[in-house]
C-alpha cells in the first residue's frame, strides 16, 4: 500500500530537503556518502524491478572507485554483465531525484512496463557488491532494503568484491547452464586463473631447473583489490605448482595510516607520474610494479627510475600496444601468410591517447585504429564491432573483447595451421574480462604477454617514446561548459564555438611553423563529463613547445 511504501521511503530519507540533484554519469551516481542513502535505496528498488522484469540477475556495485574515501557511489550492472543500458539511465535518474518517492515509483513502474522486449518474468535476482569504504556497508544495506520491497526472488550479498568481479559474476549467473551453480567469487578465480594457467602451459617449456618466479610488486591503492591478490596467488600456485608469478602486495589498507587512494593507486600514479607511497625509489629501482585503483577496474604498470620520485610508466596506451603486439605475433604464428588479415582486429582509443601510441598502433599490419568519445561505454561499444577488439583509456581502464566463433571460423580455413599456436591465442584471449576493464585480469594478461614476447619491462616501455604532453583543467560554470560542443565522434575538435576552435588551430599551426619540418603538435579542448571543468590537452614534439602551447591556450579559455 501507499502507506507502507511511504514508511519504507521515510526510512531512507534524502539528506536534506531538497537534496542536491544526482546525475547518473559515466561512473553511475557518485557523491559524498552522506547524501547517498535515499539514492541507494531507490537504486535497490530499480535493480529489483529490472531483475523481476527480465527474470534475470542484475548487479549493484557500491563504490566510488578512485575518489577520496568520504565519497561513495553506485553502478548498476545489466543482465549481460555490462553497464546499465543507456536508455534506462534517464528513467533511473528521474526516480532517484523525484521529490515524491511514491509518485516517482509509480511513474517508474509505468515506464518499465512500457519497455520493449521485457517479459513479466516474476523471478530475478539482485547481486550486490561493495568496495572497502567505511560508508559502503550502510549503503549496501539501503540497496538491499530497496530490492526487498519489490519482491525479487533472491538477493545475494557478495560483500567486498572488485567492480569487475561483480560484472563477471552477473554475466555468469545469466549464462546458459548457470542454474544451480554456486554464486561467489570462486567462479571468478577459476575462470581467470584457469585461463592464465592454460596459456602458461602452452608456452615452450622452460629450461630445467625452472627459473625463479617472476616478481611483481602490486600497489592496491589501500582498496578492495588488496583482498584479492592472495586468493589469486593461491589459485595460481594450486594450478601451476609452483606459480611462475610472485605477487608482493603493498598499500593493502592494513596499516593505521593507510588511506584509500591517498598518494597511491592507478589514478595517482598515472596523473601525477609519481611513485606511490611505500615504494622506495632506490631499493626498487628497475623492479616491475603496478597500481590498481580503489575498485580494481584500472591498472597501470611502472618501474622506479632510481632518483627521488621518478618512474617509468606503462599506462593504458602502452598496455594496448603490448596486447596488440602479442596478438599480432600469435596470429602470424597460426598463419604466416594471412597474419590475421582475415579477421577484423581493431584497437579503440580516445583523444587523450598519446600520439606516439597511435602512431605505433597505426604501423601494425591489419590492425584498425579508432578514436571515440571519452567514457568507457563508448570504447566498449566500438570494440564490440571487431572480431578481436582491444580498448584502453590512457588511465588504465581497458580490456580485449573477442568473438570466439569468428576466431574459430578464421582458424578453421587455415591450411596446416599450428594447433598449439591456435590454442595459445584462444587461451590468451580467454584471460580478458569480457564485461569491463579489470585490473586483476589485465595483470595476468600483461604478465602472460611479456613472457610470451620474451620482453622485460624496459623492452615494453621502449615500444615507443611518448610525445611530451600536458593536461590541464580550467574550472568554468556549467552554462559556459554547455556551449562547448566537441566533435560527436572523436572529440579532437570543437564544432562550437567556431572562433575558439579557430584560435586553437592557429596556435597549433604557428608552433609547428616556428619549428619547421618534422615537428608535430596537437591540442584539443573539451568539457568534462564528470566535473565542472574544461579540459585542455596539448602534445608536441618538444616539452618546451608543449608548455608554451598549453600556457597560450589556457590563457584563451580562462
Ligand atoms: P571526463 O571528466 O569526462 O574527462 C573522466 C576521465 C575519463 C573517464 C571518466 C569516468 C580523463 C581525461 N577523463 O572523464 O577517462 O575515466 O572520467 O570516470 O581522465
Ligand atoms: Zn575504478
Query: Tell me, what CATH number does 17's domain have?
Result: 3.40.120.10
pLDDT at 120: 61
Show which of 184, 212, 245 is a domain's final residue: 184
| Neighbouring-strand partners of residue 349 | 371
CA pair distance 460, 317, nearest whole angstrom: 12
Indicate whether 34 belongs to any domain.
Answer: yes
* Residue 319 within a domain: no
Same domain assignment for residues 195 and 262: yes
Tell me the residue range of the domain where 449 lies: 325-461
515: domain CATH number is 3.30.310.50
- Picking from 430, 461, 492, the residue at the C-terminal end of a domain is 461
| 208 located within any domain | yes
Give the integer Cα–Cα distance in Å for 391 and 372: 10
Radius of gyration of the chain measured on its C-alpha atoms:
24
Q: Which residues are annotated as a binding site for Mg(2+)?
A: 65, 293, 295, 297
Q: Verify that 408 and 549 share a domain, yes or no.
A: no
Give a yes or no: residue 534 inside a domain: yes
Name every residue whose Cβ is closer than 8 Å to that of residue 456 and which is 6 or more positions away in sequence.
450
**C-alpha of residue 76 to centroid of ligand 2, in Å:** 14
Specify the residue with its C-alpha closest to ligand 1, atom 4: 528
Look at residue 367 and give its three-state secondary structure: strand
Please indicate, yes or no, whether residues 174 and 194 belong to a single structural domain of this protein: no
136 in active site: no
Nearest partner of 68 among 224, 260, 253, judged by Cα: 260
Q: Across the strands, what pairs with 127?
A: 59, 156
Mark whether 440 and 515 lie in a shared domain: no
In the chain, how many domains are there? 4
User: Residue 444 has what pLDDT?
Assistant: 98
Global confidence as pTM: 0.95
**For the purposes of burial, counting CB atoms within 10 Å of the CB of 282, is it exposed (0-12), middle (13-18) or buried (19 or more)?**
exposed
Q: Atom 17 in ligand 1: which residue has the minimum CA distance?
A: 530
State the alpha helices, DSSP H only, in 55-162: 89-96, 101-114, 136-149
Residue ranges for the known binding site for substrate are: 393-395, 526-530, 535
The answer on 217 and 89 residing in a single domain is no
| DSSP string covering 513-548 | HHH-TT--EEEEEEE-SSSSEEEEEEEESSHHHHHH
In a domain, 320, yes or no: no
Q: Are residues 7 and 148 in the same domain?
A: yes
Same domain? 126 vs 217: no
ipTM of predicted assembly, 2 dp = 0.96
Q: Does 141 lie in the same domain as 10?
A: yes
From 124, 157, 184, the end of a domain falls on 184
Show the ligand 1 pocket: residues with CB < 6 angstroms: 26-27, 352, 374, 393, 395, 528-531, 535
Q: 229 and 154 in one domain?
A: no
Say what the pLDDT of residue 117 is: 59
The confidence score (pLDDT) of residue 351 equals 97
pLDDT in tens, the chain (558 residues): 788 999 999 999 999 988 889 998 878 999 999 999 999 999 999 999 999 999 999 999 999 999 999 999 999 999 999 999 999 999 999 999 999 999 999 999 999 988 765 666 568 999 999 999 999 999 999 999 999 999 899 999 999 999 999 999 999 999 988 887 889 999 999 999 999 999 999 998 877 777 788 899 999 999 999 999 999 999 999 999 889 999 999 999 999 999 999 999 999 999 999 999 999 988 999 999 999 999 999 999 999 987 777 899 999 999 999 999 999 999 999 987 777 788 999 999 999 999 999 999 999 999 999 999 999 999 999 999 999 999 999 999 999 999 999 999 998 888 778 889 999 999 999 999 999 999 999 999 999 999 999 999 999 999 999 999 999 999 999 899 999 999 999 999 999 999 999 999 999 999 999 999 899 999 999 999 878 899 999 999 999 999 999 999 999 998
Does residue 351 sit within a domain?
Answer: yes
Atom of ligand 1 lying closest to residue 350 CA:
15
CATH of the domain at 253: 3.40.120
Residues 301 and 381 in one domain: no
Q: Are residues 72 and 211 in the same domain?
A: no
Pocket probe for ligand 1: among 295, 299, 374, the residue whose CB has the most ligand atoms within 8 Å is: 374
- The whole-number pLDDT of residue 116 equals 67
Place of cell 584479492: 228
Catalytic residue among 1, 17, 65, 186: 65
Would you say residue 442 lies in a domain? yes
Residues 440 and 362 placed together within one structural domain of the fold: yes
Give strand pairing partners of 323: none
Distance 155 CA to ligand 2 centre (A): 24
Amino acid at each position: 500500500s501507499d502507506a507502507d511504501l511511504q514508511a519504507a521511503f521515510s526510512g531512507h530519507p534524502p539528506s536534506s530537503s531538497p537534496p542536491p540533484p544526482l546525475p547518473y554519469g559515466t561512473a553511475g551516481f557518485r557523491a559524498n556518502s552522506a547524501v547517498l542513502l535515499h539514492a541507494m535505496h531507490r537504486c535497490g528498488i530499480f535493480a529489483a524491478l529490472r531483475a523481476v522484469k527480465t527474470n534475470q540477475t542484475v548487479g549493484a556495485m557500491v563504490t566510488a572507485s578512485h575518489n577520496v574515501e568520504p565519497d561513495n557511489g553506485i553502478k548498476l550492472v545489466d543482465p549481460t554483465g555490462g553497464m546499465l543500458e543507456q536508455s534506462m539511465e534517464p528513467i533511473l535518474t528521474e526516480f532517484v531525484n523525484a521529490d515524491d518517492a511514491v509518485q516517482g515509483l509509480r511513474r517508474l513502474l509505468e515506464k518499465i512496463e512500457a519497455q520493449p522486449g521485457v517479459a513479466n518474468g516474476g523471478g530475478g535476482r539482485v547481486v550486490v557488491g561493495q568496495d572497502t569504504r567505511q560508508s559502503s556497508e550502510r549503503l549496501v544495506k539501503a540497496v538491499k532494503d530497496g530490492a526487498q520491497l519489490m519482491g525479487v526472488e533472491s538477493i545475494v550479498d557478495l560483500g567486498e568484491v572488485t567492480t569487475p568481479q561483480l560484472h563477471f559474476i552477473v554475466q555468469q549467473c545469466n549464462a546458459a547452464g548457470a542454474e544451480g551453480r554456486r554464486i561467489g567469487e570462486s567462479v571468478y578465480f577459476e575462470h581467470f586463473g584457469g585461463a592464465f594457467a592454460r596459456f602458461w602451459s602452452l608456452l615452450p617449456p622452460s629450461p630445467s631447473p625452472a627459473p625463479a618466479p617472476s616478481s611483481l610488486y602490486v600497489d592496491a591503492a589501500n582498496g578492495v583489490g588488496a583482498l584479492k591478490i592472495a586468493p589469486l596467488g593461491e589459485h595460481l600456485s594450486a594450478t601451476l605448482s609452483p606459480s611462475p608469478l610472485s605477487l608482493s602486495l603493498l598499500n593493502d589498507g592494513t596499516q593505521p595510516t593507510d588511506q584509500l587512494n591517498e598518494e597511491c593507486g592507478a589514478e595517482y600514479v598515472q596523473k601525477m607520474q609519481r611513485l606511490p607511497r611505500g615504494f622506495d625509489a632506490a631499493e626498487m629501482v628497475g623492479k616491475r610494479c603496478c597500481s590498481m585503483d580503489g575498485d580494481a577496474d584500472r591498472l597501470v604498470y611502472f618501474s622506479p627510475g632510481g632518483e627521488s620520485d621518478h618512474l617509468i610508466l606503462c599506462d593504458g596506451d602502452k598496455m594496448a600496444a603490448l596486447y596488440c603486439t602479442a596478438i599480432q605475433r600469435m596470429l602470424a604464428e597460426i598463419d604466416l601468410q594471412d597474419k590475421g588479415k582475415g579477421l577484423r582486429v581493431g584497437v579503440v582509443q580516445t583523444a587523450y591517447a598519446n600520439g606516439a601510441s597511435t602512431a605505433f598502433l597505426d604501423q601494425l599490419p591489419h590492425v584498425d585504429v579508432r578514436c571515440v568519445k571519452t567514457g568507457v561505454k563508448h570504447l566498449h561499444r566500438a570494440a564490440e564491432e571487431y572480431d578481436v577488439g582491444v580498448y584502453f583509456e590512457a588511465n588504465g581502464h581497458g580490456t580485449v573483447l573477442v568473438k570466439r566463433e569468428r576466431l574459430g571460423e578464421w582458424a578453421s580455413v587455415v591450411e596446416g595451421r599450428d594447433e598449439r599456436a591456435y590454442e595459445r591465442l584462444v587461451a590468451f584471449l580467454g584471460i580478458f574480462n569480457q564485461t569491463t576493464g579489470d585490473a586483476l585480469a589485465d595483470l595476468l594478461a600483461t604478465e602472460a604477454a611479456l613472457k610470451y614476447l620474451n620482453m622485460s619491462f624496459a623492452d615494453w616501455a621502449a615500444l615507443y617514446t611518448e610525445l611530451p604532453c600536458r593536461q590541464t583543467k580550467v574550472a568554468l560554470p556549467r552554462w559556459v561548459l554547455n556551449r562547448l560542443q566537441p566533435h560527436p565522434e572523436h572529440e579532437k575538435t570543437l564544432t562550437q564555438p567556431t572562433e575558439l576552435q579557430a584560435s586553437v588551430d592557429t596556435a597549433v599551426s604557428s608552433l609547428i611553423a616556428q619549428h619547421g619540418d618534422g615537428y608535430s603538435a596537437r591540442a584539443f579542448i573539451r568539457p568534462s563529463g564528470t566535473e565542472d571543468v574544461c579540459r585542455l590537452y596539448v602534445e608536441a614534439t618538444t616539452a618546451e613547445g608543449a608548455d608554451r602551447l598549453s600556457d597560450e591556450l589556457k590563457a584563451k579559455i580562462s
